[in-house]
Chain A
């Protein structure tokens, strides 16, 4: 691509230290995201996909517990070299996150409206009418009765509604990149479809980039432009989704696609990973 990418990650390595033992969570991870692109990162628990996403804005324990090397360039600025103050503006500002379990990422003692308002006043101090901005954010994620939901506490909402509220909060600050870390894993298939449709629409309307972390190739095939497969802290395969779904060069990618039960196939047994390919025991 001739256009300079929005986000460029080069040689990102992440190591956790516990006493004498060092665990390499990600090694020489390089990728880039263009404006408006959906990049999916696929891998199992322990493959390093979530850690890499958190490292983009240094949302990891400080050294010596965890050391991060490499560079993460957003609009020409290396985020890993930014001061803590400046980085705090990027977190939730230019790069916003939504996580797997909306129930545990929302603060249980504050209302939905308060939490969205907090994010707005922090990242967009110029906004005068925070209250109507909260309503607008909730409407954008298709929450009916935004006034009522704004006054509710997280436990009063279903899982799907909680995830919508999380997305509303993330989008309230007009991020350039939304990092969605397994956004639908804890949800029912029907709700999963609603949330993924919502994300697809928001990306279209806003021209926002999405870094989608998932272990489900079904979602990748329907939603992402590019995909990269992580295995044991490394990117073992990457390319356009249509190509990777057709031919896979790495056996791990092949295995991950093969182990998903598909409607109407009724295989006698599901394919499992061979010992060499397993990430964790």
Chain B
């Protein structure tokens, strides 16, 4: 039975990629990017997912929005298994689950202006919206991420990294999602800009009742934003708990290594 307070419940999720066959066409062992993990994300909360490059944290996030192929397991969104849906049947859930990417330089189309970047998801998920309604909504979105409306006609290269990440956030918010998968949203930013974006994400969560899966490798940031932390290593969740538990009493050697690597001053 799934708990109604949980927006997302992951059961036994695995993502295996086939190994490359060798010269004699013998199959290699599959690469287990994510290996039988289970966790829940309560509604309105932030679950932090930490781990190194290659630990499977990004694949986990991507598999929720069908950007990574599921090998086994269930992805229950308010009780419905969305892991088995076809791409067409998944469309209504795409509206509810959005994603913010690490690199604001590569995740925005350089040839499109901000208006068309923000309009595109609206055209897909709200086809009944008129042109002027869409434009109005885009202005509203820019305002919600604290960018002025006159930026609508500009292109991504005219913005700083922090502003681009705000645009990425606005695009995710366009379709009024419930869950946002934030994949290293502040890793590429200066510390001062990082603080602004983190605050913005927390403000938006409060205003809109959003739920976050916050993926990052920096434990200090994850601790700051999360209600619950998952520690991933080599495709498995090696430890999970409240920030106080993870920090105050880490059980796994890997968690201790991660903690020790954060510069303290």
Q: A-side interface residues toward B, CB under 8 Å?
A: 44-46, 158-159, 188-193, 215-222, 245, 255-256, 259-267, 269-273, 278, 280-281
Query: Within 8 Å CB of A271, what residues of B?
Result: 195
Are A189 and B262 touching (Cβ within 8 A)?
A: yes
Given contacts A44-B192, A263-B220, 9 further A-B contacts (CB under 8 A): A44-B190, A218-B264, A259-B191, A262-B264, A265-B224, A269-B199, A269-B202, A270-B195, A281-B160
Please tell me if B263 contacts chain A, counting CB pairs below 8 Å: yes
A171 to nearest B CB, angstroms?
Answer: 23
Query: Within 8 Å CB of A215, what residues of B?
Result: 190-192
CB contacts under 8 Å to A, within B180-229, are 190-196, 198-199, 202, 217-221, 223-224
- From B15-23, B115-123, B125-133, B252-260, the one touching the partner chain is B252-260
Query: Within 8 Å CB of A266, what residues of B?
Result: 223-224, 243
Residue in chain A with minimal CB distance to B161: A45
Q: Number of contacts between A and B (CB, 8 Å)? A: 103
CA distance A215 to B221 in the complex (A): 16
A272 to nearest B CB, angstroms?
Answer: 5
Of A190, A245, A259, A273, the contact of B258 (CB 8 Å cutoff): A190
Are A261 and B198 touching (Cβ within 8 A)?
A: yes
With A256-B191, A260-B191, A270-B224 as known contacts, state yes or no: A281 contacts B163, CB within 8 Å: yes
Q: List 13 A-B contacts (CB under 8 A).
A: A45-B160, A189-B217, A189-B218, A191-B53, A215-B192, A221-B264, A221-B265, A245-B265, A259-B191, A263-B259, A267-B224, A272-B199, A281-B163
Are A159 and B53 touching (Cβ within 8 A)?
A: yes
> What 1/0 mask marks residues of chain B from 231 to 256 whose CB sits below 8 Å from any chain A CB?
00000000000010001000000000
Are A262 and B220 touching (Cβ within 8 A)?
A: yes
Please tell me if B52 contacts chain A, counting CB pairs below 8 Å: yes
With A189-B217, A256-B191, A280-B160 as known contacts, state yes or no: A218 contacts B262, CB within 8 Å: yes
Q: B-side interface residues toward A, CB under 8 Å?
A: 52-54, 160-163, 190-196, 198-199, 202, 217-221, 223-224, 243, 247, 257-265
Query: Within 8 Å CB of B198, what residues of A?
Result: 261, 270
Query: Within 8 Å CB of B247, what residues of A?
Result: 263-264
Are B220 and A260 touching (Cβ within 8 A)?
A: yes
Query: Within 8 Å CB of B243, what residues of A?
Result: 266
Are B190 and A45 touching (Cβ within 8 A)?
A: yes
Of B196, B223, B262, the contact of A272 (CB 8 Å cutoff): B196
Query: Within 8 Å CB of B194, what residues of A?
Result: 259, 270
With A270-B195, A270-B199 as known contacts, state yes or no: A188 contacts B263, CB within 8 Å: no
CA distance A48 to B224 in the complex (A): 30
Query: Within 8 Å CB of A255, what residues of B?
Result: 192
Of B52, B161, B193, B219, the contact of A263 (CB 8 Å cutoff): B219
Query: Within 8 Å CB of A218, what residues of B?
Result: 262-265
Query: Within 8 Å CB of B160, what residues of A?
Result: 45-46, 280-281
Are B52 and A219 touching (Cβ within 8 A)?
A: no
Q: Please name the 4 residue pairs, one residue from A and one from B, whose CB atoms are nearest each other, closest first.
A: A218-B263, A221-B265, A270-B195, A259-B195
